[in-house]
Every structure is written in structure tokens, then in C-alpha cells.
Amino acid sequence: MIPGAFDYHRPSSVADAALLLRQLGEDARLLAGGHSLIPLMKTRLATPDHLIDLSGVGGLKGVRRSEEVFVIGAMTTEHELIQSEQLAEAVPILREAAATIADPQVRYRGTIGGNVANGDPGNDMPAVMQCLDARYVLVGPGGQREVAARAFYRGAYDTALAPGEILTEIRITAPPPGHGFAYEKLKRRIGDYATAAAAVVLTMSGGRCASASVALTNVADTPLWAEEAAAILAGSDLGKATLERAAAAAEAITSPASDLHGPAEYRVKMAGVMLRRAVMRALSRARA
């Protein structure tokens, strides 16, 4: 399979990339790791006339910390995310979730920016970002703005990115030390996208759940921030009845398709199962 012809551009700054994007308009696509876009181009599901490669743009790579806020450059690869010891210590769900993505070859090239900006409901990091209440920094013709991951996804491949905008970084406030976390992903075989997955971050105090955040992957057109499920967990003892209620609340907001991952009814139930498992594992990791 051979992609259609395109012109290749390699800007060296965000300003130049934004200018190109504005000038070339709808015929241009940004290229990050290429592990979502290039397969689409090979099958001609995407036929951009221009590719604007971000790999020469300075300042888009790496992780830095400003007090409790971690700033992750959009061109940081999934592999680099896994390798970051400071992230693994303060926001460990990122390493756990990133390690479930595909295989090492994909993770060496695929970037966190491409993963969250693409709007593919199968991607793992968007739900993790919603669970962590991450903010995306977008730079475009109108200047710079910040959009919460929880408000970014509108439909499959439909996001809050406006024409000409580039995602430059992701900002995450680290959860409190001692928090519990888990990313539970059901997949048919190693390297697959999720049949259903759940991200959970919680804190415990005096034997009860003091706070909880829950999000789901690949059980709707967008990642799902499961606000009601989290509200059921918060303040509870995380007993069996509570988990059942939280799982039911999570299942109620899902709307998966029947596809290669399985029938829709099965995937709905698996969302609840992943949530229960994630809560139990997060609980086992939380310090009171």
C-alpha cells in the first residue's frame, strides 16, 4: 500500500508550523510519530497534500516539573513517557497505561501529543488524561489557550482543536502522594487496542475513599469521564455493593459498537468489570 503524493514540510518552531498550517489550510496535516496517520495514508483513508512534520520543532519534547504540575511536551514519545522516573514516581498511572499501548516499536515512534490529539476512541491516553484532569495547551492563529481533557473530545476523530491549532504540551497536576491508581485494559491479544479499559485514581483516609476519579477507554465514540461512578466511590468504604453501583453507573454511560472487539453488550459489561478491577488494584496501592 502506497500513500498518495504529498509535499513534506519540516518547520523548526511552533510559530513556523502554525504559519504553515494556516497557509496550507485543510490540505495539510501535522505529522508526529506517524503511527496513526501513516497507516491511514497508506490505505488512502487520509490523503493530505501536505505533511507538516513536527519532529524538527524545538521545545516540544520532554517532561518538566513546576511544583506539583508536570508539563509533558507533545512530541514526547510513549517510550520516553514510560522511561521518565519522575513521572513514574508522582503520576504512576501514566507509565502503567503507556506500557499497554501496542508494542515497543509503536511506542518508540508514537507521541503523547499524537495519541491524545488524534481523537481515536481506541487510544489509551485520552481517558487517562481525563482521569487525571489534565489540560491541553493549544497554540494557533488565535494565540494560546488551555482546554481540559474532559472537554476536548466531541466524537470519533472530532476534538476541540480549531483549524490551524497545534497541541504543544499537556499539563498535569500530580495526585496527592500515597494515592492509589490503576489502568485495567482488556484486549484480545498483546498489542491490541482495548475491548474496554478503565483508569482509576483514588485517595483513602480512615478506611474510606476520600476522593476518586474514573475514566473509560473505547466504549463510546470518545473517552468517557465517569463522573457519577466516581461520586459513588468517593466517601464510601469501597465495599462490594458500592463497586456494583459504580460499575452500573459506568456501564450506563457507555455506547460501544459491536465490532472485532466483541458484541456491544459484552463490551458494556467489560467496562464495568475493568472498573471494578481497577478500583480494587488502586485500593491495594493506596496509602491511608
Measure CA 176 to chain center. Answer: 20
Cα angle, residue 78 at apex, residues 227 and 38 outer, rounded to 5°: 100
Site string for ligand FAD, 32-71 (x = CB under 6 A): xxxxxx-x--------------x-----------------
Q: Which stretch binds ligand FAD (CB under 6 A): 159-167, 196-204, 245-253, 266-274?
A: 159-167
Looking at residues 229 to 268 of the shown chain, list those that interact with ligand FAD (rule: CB under 6 A).
none
Neighbours of 205 (CB within 10 A): 11
Considering beta carbons, is residue 110 or 180 the nearer one to ligand FAD?
A: 110
Residue 216 DSSP SS3: strand
Q: How far is the CB of 265 from ligand FAD (least distance, A)?
A: 23
Q: Which stretch binds ligand FAD (CB under 6 A): 3-11, 28-36, 237-245, 249-257?
A: 28-36
> Which residue in the set 153, 181, 193, 225 belongs to the binding site for ligand FAD (CB under 6 A)?
193
DSSP state of 120: -
Is residue 178 within 8 Å of 205, Cβ to Cβ?
no
Q: Which of 103, 113, 129 is nearest to 77 (CA)?
A: 113
Cβ neighbours of residue 178 under 8 Å, at least 6 residues apart? 203, 286, 287, 288
Q: Which stretch binds ligand FAD (CB under 6 A): 4-12, 104-112, 199-207, 220-228?
A: 104-112
* Interface with ligand FAD (CB under 6 A): 29-37, 39, 54, 74, 78, 101-102, 106, 110-111, 113-115, 117-118, 123-125, 161, 166-167, 193
